[in-house]
Structure 1
Amino acid sequence: MENLFFNHGKDKLLWETEDKILLAISGGVDSMVLLRLMEKLALKETIFLVVAHVNHKLRQESDEEEAYLRAYCKRKGIPFYSIQWQQATSFGMEEAARNFRYNFFQEVMEQTACNKLMTAHHGDDQAETLIMKLARGGSLNSHIGIQVRQPFSNGELIRPLLQFSKEDIRKWAAEQSLVFFEDQTNEDTHVQRNRIRKWVVPELKKENARLLAHAQQFSQQLEWAEALISEQMEKEFQTHVKKQAESWQIEGDWLMALPENQQYFFLSYFFKKSLSELQVGAKEEQLLQLLRLLKKEKAQWQVAFSNEWFFKKSYQQFSLEKNKQVTDEHHVLHYDEGVYLNDREWIGILKNVELDKVPAELEQIGWSTFRQDFPKDLAKEFFLRRRRDGERLHLTKNLTKKVSRYFIDNKVMNAKRATAWVLTDSKNNIYGLLPFTLSYLSIMEETDKIHYVLLYKYRE
């Protein structure tokens, strides 16, 4: 085992000369074997070791184990750092303890300038992890097992024992007469990992003695596949996704033309990139729901990923955007004046000769324009407000159409409908639906000598 460990680490470049390595040592047989192997390595190579230990205070023996490790490291001249976990909880204990440990390891790495952290995960741990993840379900990425190496803190997290079984480790510990401590909580079958360790993995080993090797190979293949897919999807993301202030826009024709398998992997990567910024998660069920919706011919739909963020289809456009709450605001407007509705919208009813009164900034790139000739003397004042249910727009003198129907016929996206302005007078006669159209009531008569222009400037 000793030679295999050294040769494997050298071949995989798990350590290099002058490395300063932090060893996560619990006191169990796995970590004590790792400690002894690394001590032997340090005699051959110019490598510096530091030990970190977390006393979880969950067993009476915890203090004894900490004291033994402290004395051991002092005797060996190895810097020793320990911490006690005082926040034990009955809910989510395993995850909470893990987070506590790795936060502590990161602190020690930064304090001691270690460039690598090593843990004693082995081949049985790998098989147990893969089975647990398979039982829980999830995406390809979430099924990847324990990685041999990955970035961590200011360096790397290395697991040099993954090629060895628990049996290999116990056998070598006996040969070396190592002192170690048994954790009796590992016998508690209320814990899922313990049930898999005691009842599932042994039976699978009986089916195939190479189970652990196959588990390690499978995890590696998943890791490689995920890296390959992510590399390709990043190219597609950069080409077909446009990031805006509070949304991501996807080219609809391109997304719809993809086969289902590519749609799945692109959307999975898309949400990994976008939602991670928002600290919002995308569940596998939501991805599958989107695939089903993409097959349908429905013009508009949306799927909520949180109370604020929605993935939407509006005709041939797809977007992930923040849900905008539109208030019941209204504004008053008179002839010969222009007003800002907000920092993104401005409107005015001006004479043609007065268009130089339009603020210069509204002529810059990024502002869109709705401009229509507008008759004089329609009303003393106008009101701009949001539309109301059942309102109708005059198309001709005798023909009206519901505003909602107008939106449908003209394929106006839901987000645009919600932010549209209705231009009315005090009697609620509708003169315009901005920025889309003016009603028949706004048609200028040929006898009008003073020409006005309704000018609406806006930016997305």
Structure 2
Amino acid sequence: MEKTIMKVENQLDAWREWQQAKVVLLAVSGGVDSVVLFDIIYKLNQKLEQPKKIVLAHFNHHLRPESDIDANLAKTLAEKHQIIYYVKSWDNPATKNVEAAARDARYQFFAEVIENEAVDILLTGHHLNDLAETVLMRLTRGTSLKGLRGIEANYRRLLMTVDKRPVYVQMMRPLLTIPKTELYDYAADNDLGYVEDVSNQDTKYFRNRIRHQVLPVFEQENPSFLDNMLALQEQLQASYSVHYANYLKHEPMLLMYSEKMRWVLYVPAFVELEENQRKVFLTLFFEERLVEDIPTYTKEAIDRVEQVIMNDRLPNSSFQLNENWVVRREYDFIYIQPKEEENQIDQKLSVQIKHLNHWHIISENEQIGLFDERYFSTSQVLEMDYSLRLYLKPDQLRGFYVRHRKDGDRLALNDGHGDIFHKKVSRYMIDNKIPLNDRNQMWLLCDRQEEVIAIIGHISSRNYRHRHPAAESYLFLYRKMQD
């Protein structure tokens, strides 16, 4: 159907990332949605003056009798169109939480293909019915503003390979505005073969009950229900994006991260917020940050944290957030940490920068962080005790840490003629007459290759100081807190 191709073409043309992409990966399961997506993308690519490199990937979960048929269909599709393809089997399927484990294994496989082929975009066949089913499922189980957004059509995603290497890719779902009935019509009109997953008819699964018993009732009441759901989802996506962007501007002043104390909230900064803004920001903290440690939480938990923030009569209090985590207020700070961890802040031999755009506590009165340069104005940067601009590519964002000096530390420097030489950290300290007691307390910024990037407060190496087309500008900041 020409109108279906036009919908997808118009959607892709609206995405700048698609225009710039050179290599795209299609996740093909063998179902009607992914087969139609492949056919449309292949045809659109043939029309381009500079066609993109298309790669196909299929992950065989071995969870259904017809799994091998799916894999053979994907292989045949790729060979027929003479494109590169990857097929992998799940050698050790999980026996518990199978759906989540299968998804993790599948995306680990995609990450490795993305890395091997230098993929810019990962395309999946999610469609409008998938979106409606997801929203209805979340409404039934209980959800938040973020959950009500449903499925995102175009966003940047971090994947992990099997051996935990980070891989960034642009996720795109160009069929998200198209109902499944239209995909069936397209497949019939274009004589496309596909495999029906018979388990999709089994109503013992929650999604299938929504698909076969709930969604048809809404469509019977209003044939435009799916279109209305799409319009609502687009509004919620826009609303959430505005809230989140506003939150990110405030976050460096609201939160800190300590390896020992985990999350640290700065009470005065939250108190200064208007009430509704404070509620939204706390919710975003739970949804975008704390979710890494506590995947499930309740609105009551968020409300209780707010009560602790606003209760000046009890500047020292605590409560159990769930079975394993506690919330503890000590005057101007609220610590959210595992229950078994000690209640005092340790000065560590080394502290990793685990989270971008967050302050990390390294001692009782010292904090560090790696930030997108847009988070701080020039005047705010000048107020810091030390700042260092670094040009980093996406795969260089992880692995920075600070530690005290050790024997053999060297710093890569430029001489007066632009040539590189290495100087011992100990020699620098001697040459600059730094007292011996101070030398052992000074912090060094290092990368994951254990190269010394800077003696904080003094001098930095040449590493990460030069612009690169694929790199963006970040700020390493260090500050001392007032006693």
Q: TM-score range by the shorter chain?
A: 0.5 to 0.7
Q: 1:298: Cα distance to partner?
A: 4.8
Distance in 2 (CA, whole Å) between partners of 1:60 and 1:244 is 49
Task: Count residues in correspondence.
Answer: 335
> Retained in 1: the 8 A contact 2:135–2:147?
no
Mapped contact 1:148–1:159 kept (Cα < 8 A) = yes
Residue aligning to 1:91: 96
Query: Identity of aligned pairs, percent?
Result: 29
Q: 1:17-416 alignment to 2 at 5 Å?
A: 19-45=22-48, 46-152=51-157, 153-241=167-255, 246-247=260-261, 250-256=265-271, 258-271=273-286, 275=290, 279-281=293-295, 283-284=297-298, 285-293=300-308, 298-299=313-314, 300-305=316-321, 310-314=326-330, 317-320=332-335, 322=337, 323-324=341-342
Does the alignment pair 1:2 with 2:5? yes
Is residue 75–residue 85 contact of structure 2 (8 Å, CA) maintained in 1? yes
Q: Aligned partner of 2:279: which letter?
A: Y
- Give SS of 2:18's match: coil
Task: Give how far 1:294 is off.
Answer: 5.2
Deviations 1:120-171 (A, max 9, x none): 0000000001111112213322332111111133321110101110111111
Cα pair 2:70 2:195 within 8 Å, conserved: yes
In the TM superposition, what whole-angstrom CA distance separates every residue of 1:26-71 from its partner, at most 9, and x where no partner exists?
1111111111111111210112211111112122222133223313
- One-letter amino acid of the counterpart of residue 35, structure 1: F
Rg larger in structure: 1
Q: CA separation in 1, counterparts of 2:34 and 2:216? A: 22
CA distance in 2, matches of 1:261, 1:29: 45
Q: Find the aligned partners of 1:201 and 1:63 in 2 and give their Cα distance.
A: 31
Equivalent pair of 1:52/1:81 in contact (CA under 8 Å): yes
Which residue matches 2:14? 11
Label 1:99 to 1:292 Cα distance change in 2 as closer, same or farther (>3 A).
same
Task: State the SS of the aligned residue for 1:16.
Answer: helix
SS of 2:19's equivalent?
Answer: coil
Which residue type is aligned with residue 125 of structure 1?
Answer: D
CA distance in 2, matches of 1:104, 1:365: 44
Q: 2: distance between equivalents of 1:159 and 1:254? A: 39
TM-score normalised according to structure 2 size: 0.62
Distance in 1, matches of 2:269 and 2:6, equals 54
The letter for the 2-side match of 1:81 is Y
Deviations 1:190-221 (A, max 9, x none): 11111111111111112222222222222222
Residue type at the aligned position of 2:15: K
SS in 2 for 1:40: helix
Structure 2 regions of 5+ residues with no counterpart?
Answer: 158-166, 345-362, 365-434, 443-481
Distance of aligned partners of 1:191 and 1:41 in 2 relative to their CA distance in 1, 3 Å threshold: same
Tell whether the 8 Å contact from 1:147 to 1:220 is kept in structure 2 after alignment. no
Distance 1:283 1:82 in 2: 37
Tell me by how many angstroms 1:7 deviates: 2.2
Quick one: distance in 1 between partners of 2:91 and 2:133?
Answer: 28
